[in-house]
């Protein structure tokens, strides 16, 4: 059994090929309309990967989708940089608030703050960066998209960023004191969620913590009147947003019984905060 960590690539030195959105000239109506059709959800298609994308042969098909109506998904130079900050703005700052909440919650645990945390589905490194700013000593980020990882490594040079998938991290048993994830599990098919949780239980130390946030089902379960009465214009906004953006596995995720799901895969639920528009969960490896 290996006890060494995977090698961290020098993302700054890796030249990533342009994908089709990078080749668009948005001054031309045809290219602009093509981009807009994807961005507004009229033409969602599987992600197209050119030759030379690192790790392409290891990516499962479910990942290669245009989540959140992002043209070519998380695989382009042009749109991944804008997505890193743009999605938080679309979410009215709720993503950065959740990053801070999770980071502060974990940093209050001395063994976690002085230990190692893996942020799975790290994207542009926002949550990993929040963990580092909160004082966590050893922070790692894992994501399947080399385009997002290249940006993350540029923005957070002292964090270890690796390419990989949630259900097969490549780390040794009992490697981490905590695992985090933000807006990840609802983008994974149910059978892969089970694999993810088994994998996370494997690489967590005994008593290790799992902290994640996901979209709240409240914004889709309540009707317009209830959303307006309980949350005002924000309730209406997040309902419309949830209906608009491409989330192929969201309905299946909202059907999950979180306490039972965690228990089935070796976790004890500590906290389940069902707010709007976010759901926060904290669990401990049994």
- The full DSSP string for 240-276 is HHHHHS--TTHHHHHT--HHHHHHHTTEEEEEEEE-S
The pLDDT of residue 54 is 96
Which domains occur in the chain, in start order?
18-90 (no CATH), 94-285 (3.40.50.150)
Rounded distance between C-alpha atoms, residue 119 and residue 211, angstroms: 9
What is residue 42's DSSP assignment?
A: S
The pLDDT of residue 237 is 96
Rounded distance between C-alpha atoms, residue 251 and residue 52, angstroms: 34
Per-residue pLDDT of the chain (286 residues; tens, 9 = 90+): 346 899 999 999 999 999 999 999 999 999 999 999 999 999 999 999 999 999 999 999 999 999 999 999 999 999 999 999 999 999 999 999 999 999 999 999 999 999 999 999 999 999 999 999 999 999 999 999 999 999 999 999 999 999 999 999 999 999 999 999 999 999 999 999 999 999 999 999 999 999 999 999 999 999 989 999 999 999 999 999 999 999 999 999 999 999 999 999 999 999 999 999 999 999 999 9
Rg for the chain (alpha carbons), in Å?
19
First to last CA, the chain: 22
- Residue 104 class from Cβ within 10 Å (0-12 exposed, 13-18 middle, 19+ buried)? middle
pTM confidence score: 0.96
């Amino acid at each position: 059994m290996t006890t060494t960590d995977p090698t961290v690539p020098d993302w700054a030195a890796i030249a990533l090929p342009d994908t089709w959105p990078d080749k668009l000239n948005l001054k031309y109506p045809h290219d602009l309309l093509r981009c807009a059709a994807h961005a507004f959800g009229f033409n969602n298609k599987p992600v197209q990967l050119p030759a030379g994308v690192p790790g392409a042969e290891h990516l499962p098909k479910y990942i290669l989708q245009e989540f959140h109506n992002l043209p070519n998904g998380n695989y382009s130079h042009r749109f991944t940089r804008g997505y890193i900050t743009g999605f938080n703005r679309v979410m009215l700052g709720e993503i950065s608030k959740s990053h801070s909440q999770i980071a502060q919650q974990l940093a209050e645990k001395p063994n976690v703050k002085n230990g190692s945390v893996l942020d799975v589905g790290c994207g542009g490194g926002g949550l990993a960066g929040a963990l580092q700013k909160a004082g966590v000593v050893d922070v790692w980020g894992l994501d399947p998209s080399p385009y997002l990882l290249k940006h993350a490594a540029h923005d957070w040079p002292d964090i270890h960023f690796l390419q990989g998938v949630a259900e097969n991290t490549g780390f040794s048993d009992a490697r981490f004191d905590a695992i985090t994830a933000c807006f990840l599990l609802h983008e994974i098919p149910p059978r892969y969620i089970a694999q993810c949780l088994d994998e996370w239980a494997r690489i967590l130390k005994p008593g290790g913590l799992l902290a994640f946030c996901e979209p709240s089902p409240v914004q889709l379960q309540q009707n317009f009147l209830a959303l307006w009465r309980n949350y005002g214009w924000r309730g209406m906004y997040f309902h419309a947003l949830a209906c608009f953006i491409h989330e192929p596995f969201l309905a299946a995720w909202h059907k999950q019984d979180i306490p039972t799901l965690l228990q089935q895969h070796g976790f004890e639920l500590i906290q389940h905060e069902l707010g709007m528009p976010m759901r926060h969960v904290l669990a401990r490896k049994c």
